[in-house]
Amino acid sequence: MLAAKRAACDGEVVDESTKKAKLDNAATAFQHVSSFGDFKPRRILSEDARTKFMAVEGTFGGDASDSAAAVVVVEKTPFSRENYELVFTADTKLEETFHNDVYTSYGGKLSAALNGRPSKLWEETNPDWAPTLLLGYSTCHEDPAPYDRMNIERLQKDEADVAAVVESIGTGSNNAVEGQPPSEDESHMERNKPGLTATVICPATQKHVDKYLFKPQHMITETPKLYKEVTEPYITSQQLSLQWVYNILEHKKESERILFEDPDPETGFILLPDMKWDTKQPENLYVLAICHKHGIRSLRDLTADHLSLLRNINEKVKAALLLQFGVPSHRLRGYLHYQPSYYHLHVHFSVLGFDAPGTQVERAHLLSTVISNLEAFPDYYQKATLGFTVKEGDGLHAKYKEAGYFD
C-alpha cells in the first residue's frame, strides 16, 4: 500500500517536474521571439472596440506537439500630445461617409508616423532612432481548454479575424530588437496604415467647442424647483440648432443610414447607427432611436401620455436589432441621457459588454425604468429630483453658479 502511494507520489513529482521543465522551455523560447511570425492565433478571448484592445489565445512554435500555448494582449497606442499635429496633414487621407447640416463624418487612413514608427524623413535625419515597443502582451503557458465542436464556425471566423490583426501589425524582423526600423515596401505600408474615423463639425459654435473641451465636472442634484428656475430657462435660450435632427426625420439627410422607421407622427421613430458604430461588428453595436414627435426635450417633459411612444420604441428597436444583427433583447441596454446632448427626445441602445459613452450612472436612465416610473406615477419626472453632471465653465454650470448652488 505504502509502495503504491510512494510510486504515485513519485509519478506526480515526475509529472510536475516534466510540466515545469516544459513551461520553462516555452518561456525561454518566448523570450527570443522578435515577431509574431511564429504565432498561430486560435480564437479571440475578448475585445473592446472603444479602447482598441484585443486578447487572443494561440500558440508559439511549429508543430502542435511542441508549441507553447499563449495569450497575447494587443492594444493600439493612443494619440500623442507631442505629435498630434501629424494627424492634420496631407498624409491623412479622408473619405466622406455622410454629411448633415454642420456635421460631416469621414473614414480615413493615418500616416506611417502615427503607426508606431516615424516618417522616412525622420528616420533619415535621426539615424540613432530606435523603435519603442508599442504592443502590450502577456503569456499563459497552461494547456488551452478543449474547444466546443458546436462553435467551430465561430472559432474559424475568430482565427481569420485574428490572423488579419496579426498581419496588420506586421511580422517585423530581428532588426527591430537590435534597434533598427523594419524594412517594408511602400505598398505594404499603405495597406496597413491604421484606420481613422473622424467627425468634422463645421461651422462650429462655441457650444460645440465646449462640448469636446476637457474640463472638471461637477455634480448637480436638480430638484423640480431648480429645474424650473435654472435649467429650463437655460435650455430654452441656449440649446443647439435641431435642424440636423429635422433633416433626418424628413429624409433630407442620412436616409441611406436608416436601419428601421415607424412613420407614425405620435409614436413613431427613426432608428440610426450612432456615428461611433460602423454597423459591421455587433460586439460594439450602438444605435439611436429619434422620435418623430416634436416638443419632447428630455426626461423632464415625459408623462404617462408618452408611454405608448416609449413602449413602441422599446419593442420595435429590439425586434429590429434581433432581425438585422442577431442581437437578442437580453443583450441590449436601452437608456435616455439626462442631460441629453441635444433637446429632442432620443433613446440610446447599445450591446452589453461594449463600454458605450454616456452609460455612467449619473447620466444614463434605463428605458425600462423610465417606463416603470411613468406607469406608477404619471408625473414622476415633473416631481423627481434628478442628478447630472456639468462641465466647469459651461453655460449651465455658470447659471447654477450664479444661483449660488456651489456656495
C-alpha cell at 73: 494582449
- Cis ω for the linkage preceding 265 (within 30 of 0): no
Closest by CA position to 182, among listed 118, 110, 109: 118
Please check if 254 is assigned to a binding site.
yes
Please check if 52 is assigned to a binding site.
no
Please check if 347 is assigned to a binding site.
yes
Closest by CA position to 318, among listed 353, 290, 350: 350
Please check if 47 is assigned to a binding site.
no
CA-CA distance, 39 to 54, in Å (whole number)? 15
For 395, other C-beta atoms within 10 Å of its C-beta total 16
Q: Are 96 and 105 in contact (CB under 8 A)?
A: yes
Write phi, then psi, for 260 (nearest 5 degrees): -165, 150
Q: Which of 330, 346, 365, 397 is catalytic?
A: 346
For 143, other C-beta atoms within 10 Å of its C-beta total 9
CA-CA distance, 267 to 292, in Å (whole number)? 7
C-alpha cell at 121: 524623413
346 is an active site residue: yes
Please check if 341 is assigned to a binding site.
yes
Please check if 287 is assigned to a binding site.
no
CA-CA distance, 92 to 193, in Å (whole number)? 10
Write phi, then psi, for 45 (nearest 5 degrees): -85, -40
Please check if 338 is assigned to a binding site.
yes
For 74, other C-beta atoms within 10 Å of its C-beta total 19
- 3: helix, coil or strand? helix
Closest by CA position to 354, among listed 31, 47, 32, 21: 47
Please check if 141 is assigned to a binding site.
no
Please check if 346 is assigned to a binding site.
yes
The β-bridge relationship of strands 286-291 and 346-351 is antiparallel
Burial category of 397 from C-beta neighbours within 10 Å (exposed 0-12, middle 13-18, buried 19 and up): buried
Q: Which residues contact 6 (CB under 8 A, 6 or more apart)?
A: none
Residue ranges for the binding site? 244, 254, 274, 276, 337-348
Residue ranges for the binding site for substrate? 244, 254, 274, 276, 337-348
Q: Which residues are the active-site residues?
A: 346
